């Protein structure tokens, strides 16, 4: 039976069973038989993943800032599902658009025969993106967008080397894994296949040192043609770079003919308190990667570049050298158009800044990041995973963050109410106190 707040996802948590409940446990038993053991956190590695020796909950339904599990327990989602539900879960405008578009045209043909939502989305992204970023390669997930950006940069600069940064997360498919650095364990088994073209340097490193990698006797081999950076480290623990650093990277790239790529898959579309992570310094990259929140819950992403950079691909000679079956999928493209409408109408950056103010009021100098892309410092490596487990038992979803697992990530949906946020923050505060003893 529906309860007050159920309809629009503005409710506080309400738990009916122990966590996880019997329905979740039964489904996880099936999952454990049929999914690669490396994927979902279940009993075997639950200790490490969530600090408690038990199965995950199984999500069955969601709306706004609320998620319900298979046992009917209601949670408050302070992660917005990996940052995807920036406008809230199951936003009615997106749901309606997906419904209508699937009746009209469920699938088109990638690069061969385009469809109206795909075309309109690229036009819209050109309007929304910073500066003159106005030509796209549409993709489905974040890693794919990063790889499309890297291919574009390589063609444009003619140099295969990539400067990327420690603690960064760009996805886990091979091309993206090569540039990701977050967690050695993700890379170690595949190291022999990741290629020597990438060099990782500390995030925020002194610009003179970085410049030495681009030119001069200590220049990296192969020569660096792309600088890839998250304007705020996301999974790496909501780390903001030193003031002026992004501007410095812009001028390094300009001086040495490298292509500057901002991975704004987490930060973008208003989450960081501006439409884009570079806005605070007025920096426009050559290519921006956008994903996560773009589809309002549907899988769509993009690499958006300056026309003169994208021109390096040359005219397609009939068979595109970069495409994919689902490129510019009509339903996900239509969903993205609806999500962009909602983000613009709600003035996403402004709402993100209001969320930041509320979080800072409680946690003050223990807060990192900007906008609705925040982390609370626990001061103790590994503690965030234990807190995640404890908070789950109270009906609050958070993710541990930071390379040392000491950050409680807070990336709530922008539609979260002040009351919901206050409730969640209070629970986090108490949980930190309790875990510290």
Ligand X SMILES: Cc1ncc(COP(=O)(O)O)c(C=O)c1O
Site residues for ligand X per CB under 6 A: 82, 141-143, 146, 169-171, 230, 234-235, 263, 265-266, 291
Nearest approach, Cβ of residue 261 and ligand X (Å): 11
Helix, strand or coil, per DSSP, at residue 228: strand
Cα within 13 Å of Cα(335), Cβ side: 31
Q: Is the peptide bond before 222 cis (omega within 30 degrees of 0)?
A: yes
Nearer to ligand X, 323 or 417 (CB): 323
Nearest approach, Cβ of residue 130 and ligand X (Å): 17
Nearest approach, Cβ of residue 143 and ligand X (Å): 3
Q: Compute the distance between CA of residue 307 and CA of residue 152 in angstroms, rounded to an integer.
A: 11
Q: How many CB atoms lie within 10 A of CB 141?
A: 18
Q: Compute the distance between CA of residue 10 and CA of residue 350 in angstroms, rounded to an integer.
A: 19
Nearer to ligand X, 70 or 177 (CB): 177
Nearer to ligand X, 266 or 363 (CB): 266
- Provide φ and ψ at 51, rounded to 5°: 80, 0
Q: Beta strands 74-77 and 135-139: pairing type?
A: unpaired
Nearer to ligand X, 368 or 390 (CB): 368
Nearest approach, Cβ of residue 426 and ligand X (Å): 27
Nearer to ligand X, 59 or 82 (CB): 82
Nearest approach, Cβ of residue 318 and ligand X (Å): 30
Nearer to ligand X, 197 or 235 (CB): 235
Nearest approach, Cβ of residue 267 and ligand X (Å): 7
- Pair 70, 23: CB distance under 8 Å: yes
User: In this structure, what token pair is assigned to residue 8?
Assistant: 């629009």
CA Rg value for the chain: 21
Nearest approach, Cβ of residue 239 and ligand X (Å): 12
Distant-in-sequence, close-in-space partners of 59: CB < 8 Å, separation ≥ 6: 67, 68, 69, 70
Nearer to ligand X, 237 or 424 (CB): 237
Q: Compute the distance between CA of residue 82 and CA of residue 73 in angstroms, rounded to an integer.
A: 20
Q: Is the peptide bond before 63 cis (omega within 30 degrees of 0)?
A: no
Q: Which residue is nearest to ligand X (CB)?
A: 142
């Amino acid at each position: 039976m529906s309860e007050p707040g159920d309809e629009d996802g503005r409710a506080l948590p309400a738990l009916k069973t122990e966590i996880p409940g019997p329905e979740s446990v039964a489904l996880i038993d099936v999952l454990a038989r049929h999914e690669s053991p490396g994927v979902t956190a279940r009993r075997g590695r639950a200790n490490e993943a969530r600090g408690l020796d038990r199965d995950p909950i199984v999500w069955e339904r969601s709306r706004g800032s609320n998620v319900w599990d298979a046992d009917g327990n209601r949670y408050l989602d302070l992660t917005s599902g990996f940052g995807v539900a920036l406008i809230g879960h199951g936003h009615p405008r997106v749901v309606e658009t997906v419904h209508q578009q699937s009746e009209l045209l469920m699938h088109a043909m990638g690069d061969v025969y385009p469809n109206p939502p795909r075309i309109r989305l690229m036009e819209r992204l050109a309007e929304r993106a910073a500066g003159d970023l106005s030509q796209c390669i549409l993709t489905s997930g974040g890693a794919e967008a990063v790889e499309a950006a890297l291919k574009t940069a390589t063609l444009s600069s003619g140099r295969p080397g990539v400067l990327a940064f420690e603690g960064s997360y760009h996805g886990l498919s091979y091309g993206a894994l090569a540039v990701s650095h977050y967690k050695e364990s993700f890379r170690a088994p595949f190291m022999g296949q990741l290629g020597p073209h990438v060099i990782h340097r500390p995030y925020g490193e002194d610009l003179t040192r970085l410049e030495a990698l681009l030119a001069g006797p200590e220049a990296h081999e192969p020569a660096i043609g792309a600088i890839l950076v998250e304007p705020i480290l996301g999974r790496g623990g909501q780390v903001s770079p030193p003031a002026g650093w992004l501007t410095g990277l812009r001028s390094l790239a300009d001086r040495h003919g490298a292509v500057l790529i901002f991975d704004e898959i987490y930060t973008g579309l208003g989450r960081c308190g501006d439409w884009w992570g570079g806005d605070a310094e007025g920096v426009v990259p050559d290519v921006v990667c956008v994903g996560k929140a773009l589809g309002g819950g549907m899988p769509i992403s993009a690499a958006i570049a300056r026309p003169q950079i994208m021109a390096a691909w040359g005219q397609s000679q009939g068979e595109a050298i970069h495409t994919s079956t689902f490129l510019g999928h009509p339903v996900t493209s239509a969903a993205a158009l609806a999500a962009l409408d909602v983000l613009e109408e709600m003035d996403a950056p402004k709402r993100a800044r209001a969320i930041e103010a509320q979080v800072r009021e409680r946690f003050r100098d223990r807060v990192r990041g900007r906008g609705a892309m925040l982390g609370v410092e626990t001061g103790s490596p590994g503690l965030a995973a234990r807190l995640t487990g404890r908070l789950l038992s109270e009906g609050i979803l958070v993710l541990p963050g930071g390379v040392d697992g000491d950050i409680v990530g807070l990336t709530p949906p922008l539609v979260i109410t002040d009351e919901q946020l206050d409730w969640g923050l209070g629970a986090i505060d108490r949980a930190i106190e309790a875990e510290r003893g």
